[in-house]
Amino acid sequence: MTDSSLAQVLRSHGLRMTPQRQLVLDAVRQLGHATPEQVHNAVQRVADSVNITTVYRTLELLEELGLVTHTHLSHGAPTYHPADEDQHIHLVCRDCGTVEGVEPELLAPLARELRRQRGFEVDIGHVALFGRCGTCGGRDDR
Amino acid sequence: MTDSSLAQVLRSHGLRMTPQRQLVLDAVRQLGHATPEQVHNAVQRVADSVNITTVYRTLELLEELGLVTHTHLSHGAPTYHPADEDQHIHLVCRDCGTVEGVEPELLAPLARELRRQRGFEVDIGHVALFGRCGTCGGRDDR
DNA sequence: CTAGGTGCAAATAGTTTGCAACTAC
DNA sequence: GTAGTTGCAAACTATTTGCACCTAG
């Protein structure tokens, strides 16, 4: 494949392929969960002239194209991750800040119930649950 | 009761009762779910000289005192609500932005499972689920 | 060539901090 | 009287926007 899928998707929307866009997508894929700033850092390691503005614009674009999605974890920080990756629930530890992913199936019964009771369709990939992780909860050092 | 419970709680921590603190707490109770800015607006309707800085500081204080809690709904704005109010899960509609609360019992089986599998303690009152509400989902106007 | 894309600087929004004046007790 | 509290202005952080220059196709 001389032409990456990103280029194809972009072209099919009448948009241009640029090195910046490839780098941002690569960074999101490599990082798994990352804030715009973390993506920017990762991109800069490869091409230090890329501006954070471009990162913001590119993340927004990639999201519109359905290549990445974002979730709001802990405080306000949005974190981006590849859209094609397996959907997962984010568990955010309020003490150590660690984010772990769990299989979305765990949310299925709840999702079903909300749909039945309220007609509410939960966006599973967008879910973040706050609490205290096993490591922090085990030792009660609060 | 000549002395409100807020005054009592404050005093028991060596802190002072002020009109601003009562107004902020009242606003949170009255609004149910509100961002700092919304709280500020509500407070200003009663006492327009109250500064938003004071609102931020007071919300933080009331949270430390266990009188209010906050959750991160949709984008970045934190929303505060009374801590003594029944805990509830927040359902945030991605289309209309409406926030509705549902009984936390629905989350209990999931919480139990996460505790068992991961040792992760979900903070139920802090949970927000994103998706599409019945009203927006019913008419597929996307 | 030329419309889309980028970098830079400035604007904006949300929140925090330093500090002098004020007030609850 | 005095330490806790407030208002104001300034500082900060995160994100967005305007615009001239650049480049993919």
pLDDT in tens, B15-35: 999 999 999 999 999 998 899
B75, B114: one domain: no
Where residue A71 sits, what CATH number does that domain have? 1.10.10.10
Q: Which residue from B33, B26, B23 is spatially nearest to B79, judged by alpha carbons?
A: B33
A53, A95: one domain: no
Are B24 and B59 a contacting pair, CB within 8 Å?
yes
Min Cα–Cα distance to chain B from A36, Å? 14
Provide the residue range defining the domain that includes B7.
3-82
B67, B104: one domain: no
Name the protein residue, with chain letter, whose CA is nearest the C1' of C17: B53
Interface contact flag, A127 B129, Cβ < 8 Å: yes
State how far the alpha carbon of A128 is from the alpha carbons of A8, B75, B82, in Å. 32, 13, 21
Long-range residue pairs from A62-68, CB within 8 A, at least 24 positions apart, any chain: A62/A21, A62/A24, A62/A25, A62/A28, A65/A9, A65/A10, A65/A13, A67/A6, A67/A9, A67/A25, A68/A25, A68/A28
Distance A51 CA to C9 C1' (A): 12
Q: Determine the nucleotide nearest to A59 by Cα–C1' distance.
A: D15
B57, B122: one domain: no
Out of A94, A119, A138, the one facing B134 most closely (by C-beta) is A119
Interface contact flag, A122 B129, Cβ < 8 Å: yes
pLDDT at A33: 85
Where residue B121 sits, what CATH number does that domain have? 3.30.1490.190
Residue B127 falls inside a structural domain:
yes
Residue A42 falls inside a structural domain:
yes
Residue of chain B whose Cα is closest to the Cα of A93 = B120
pLDDT tens, residue by residue, B90-139: 888 877 777 788 888 888 999 999 999 999 999 877 778 888 888 887 55
Residue B17 falls inside a structural domain:
yes
A71, A106: one domain: no
A9, A57: one domain: yes
A26, A68: one domain: yes
pLDDT tens, residue by residue, A8-19: 999 999 999 999
A43, A100: one domain: no
In this structure, is the CB of residue A7 within 7 Å of any atom belonging to strand D?
yes
A92 touching B (Cβ < 8 Å): no
Residues 65-94 of B with CB under 7 A from strand C: 76-78
A75, A93: one domain: no
pLDDT of B70 > 80? The answer is yes
Domain count, chain A: 2
